[in-house]
Amino acid sequence: MSKAPAIEVEGLWQVFGEKASDILKEVRSADTRSIATALQDKGLIPAVRDANFEVHSGELFVIMGLSGSGKSTLIRCISRLVEPTSGAVRIDGEDILQASNSRLIELRRRKLGMVFQHFGLFPHMSVADNVAFPLKMQGAGKTERRARALDVIKLVGLEGRESAYPRELSGGQRQRVGIARSLAVNPDIWFLDEPFSALDPLIRRQLQDEFLNIQATLKKSIVFITHDIAEALKLADRIAIMRDGEVVQIGTPTQIVLNPVDDYVREFARDIPKGRHMTISEVMEPVGDNPLAGDWPELRTGMSLEDALTQCAATFEAVPVMDGDGKVVGQVRPESFVKALGSEAT
């Protein structure tokens, strides 16, 4: 891991409305809430309120929140698709809010890639041309573009569809093109704005898995936006939870599930089967003076509670099951309970 964080967001505000920047300077006070209230009183909309976080190199950082919580605006501030009102966004130490227009174009051509919720494919270009578009902007030659485009198209599993047009593709395939395009220039920083939200649940899970595979080999520094807590927990190294433009908690999936900072976050975590996201190490206690005796199942520190429970239950014998007359009709093993219950929730 390198020393400087890949992305560093510091005191970032995005306020919509007339003269937002001036008014924001005027109402400066210590407390984020009171600034936001003051802004709203003046008819302004504080969409992102004093965001502070870092994304480490190679980290998959997920920003999660409901619609209207400001997460989409936040990612647009970081990629400077909108001009933040104040604050700093440093990418590899360089404040891109200060970057000139040409420097910004340069950064986008070399360093940044982005995937959009509704794909943003160019309807008049074939798959290959869509994917090669950022390379064309770089000024790469035709043959080079073609070769690189085919590489990434292969990476996302769309071989053979290079000359298809977006309208001929399914939703899942379109987003594969979107992903391929964002990877075409081999960017260091990868922005994904709700990339799987517009897809069917089955396709979504499939793409999530493939996305994790790709990330496992490419090791990009990622900012990933979602409104789906399950998706966040499944993918994230760390999660930032947003509400009303504020980042209310940042933590690993386990921390979010185990130690929600307030009711809002708790509400999200409520439907999550804790057993799947907590590991043994989090409930384990020090061994006392008396060494543990007996025939115990093999538990390891990284094991999820669910798995551990199955292991433990496996040490018990099967129990008979009777019908109404007391006749034995079958048997059930305790671990079957655990497995059945565990596999039901998602």
Partner 1 sequence: MSLTKGAWAALITVLVGALCLFLEPHVDWLGKWPAGWTLPVNDWISQGLGAALGILKPVARFFAWLLAFPMDGLTWLLSQSPWPLTIASVTALGWRLGGWKMALLGAVGFGFVLISGYWLQSMRTLALVFVSVPLALLMGLAIGILAYEVPRVKSGVNVVLDVMQTVPTFAYLTPLLFLFGFGPVVGLVASAIYAAPPMARNTLLGLERVEHDIREAAIMSGGTRRQQLFLVEIPAAANQIMIGVNQSLMAALSMVIIAAVIGGFDDIGWEVLLTMRKAWFGQAFLAGLVIVVFAIVIDRMSATLATQRKAFDLRISGAIVGIGAILSFIVNPDSTSYAMMGGVAASVDTAVGTFTANNGAALDSFKNGAMFYGLLPLRIGLDQAVLPFTWGFMWQPQYSLWLFGVAIALGAVLAIKGRVAQGIVLIIAVGILETGIADLPWPFVLIGVGALGWMGGGWKLARLITILLGTILLAGLWERALLSLYLSGASVFACAVVGGLLGLWAALSKTAWAIIRPMCDVLQTIPLFVFLIPVLMFFQIGEFSAFLAICMYAVVPMIRYTRHGLISTPPDMVEAAVSSGATRWQMLREVRAPYAAPSILLGLNQTILYAFAMLVIAALIGTTGLGQSIYLALGQADIGMGISAGAAMAILAFIADRLVQGFAEDRRKALGL
Residue 114 Cβ vs partner 1, minimum distance, rounded to whole Å: 4
Element (H, E) at 186: none
Residue 149 Cβ vs partner 1, minimum distance, rounded to whole Å: 13
Distance, CA of 174 to CA of 161 (rounded, Å): 11
Residue 342 Cβ vs partner 1, minimum distance, rounded to whole Å: 38
Q: Which residues bind partner 1 (CB under 8 A)?
A: 76, 79, 81, 105-110, 112-114, 116-125, 133-134, 136-138, 167, 178, 181-182, 185, 191
Residue 217 Cβ vs partner 1, minimum distance, rounded to whole Å: 23
Residues with Cβ within 8 Å of residue 335, at least 6 apart in sequence: 310, 311, 313, 314, 316
Q: Which is nearer to partner 1, 184 or 233 (CB)?
A: 184
Q: Which is nearer to partner 1, 149 or 278 (CB)?
A: 149
**Is the sign of the CA dihedral 191, 193, 197, 199 positive or negative?**
negative
Q: Which of helix, strand or coil describes residue 273? A: coil
Q: Which residues are bridge partners to 112 per DSSP?
A: 189
Distance, CA of 227 to CA of 239 (rounded, Å): 12
Q: Which is nearer to partner 1, 121 or 309 (CB)?
A: 121
Residue 70 Cβ vs partner 1, minimum distance, rounded to whole Å: 17
Q: Which is nearer to partner 1, 137 or 147 (CB)?
A: 137
Residue 95 Cβ vs partner 1, minimum distance, rounded to whole Å: 19
Roughly what angle, to the nearest 10 degrees, separates helices 101-110 and 127-138? 130
Q: Which is nearer to partner 1, 104 or 250 (CB)?
A: 104
Q: Which residues are bridge partners to 114 per DSSP?
A: 191
Distance, CA of 238 to CA of 208 (rounded, Å): 16
Q: Which is nearer to partner 1, 107 or 242 (CB)?
A: 107
Q: Which is nearer to partner 1, 35 or 63 (CB)?
A: 63
Distance, CA of 42 to CA of 148 (rounded, Å): 51
Residue 184 Cβ vs partner 1, minimum distance, rounded to whole Å: 9
Q: Which is nearer to partner 1, 66 or 125 (CB)?
A: 125
Residue 292 Cβ vs partner 1, minimum distance, rounded to whole Å: 57
Question: For residues 24 and 240, is the Cβ–Cβ distance under 8 A?
Answer: no
Q: Which is nearer to partner 1, 108 or 276 (CB)?
A: 108
> Distances from the Cα of 129 to the Cαs of 133, 142, 222, 229, 304, in angstroms?
6, 10, 25, 35, 45
Query: Which 8-state DSSP code applies to residue 279?
Result: B
- Which residue stretches of 157-262 are H helix? 171-183, 201-218, 229-235, 253-258
Residue 275 Cβ vs partner 1, minimum distance, rounded to whole Å: 38
Give the per-residue SS3 of 323-334.
Answer: CCCCCEEEEECH
Q: Which of 174, 158, 70 is nearest to 119 (CA)?
A: 174
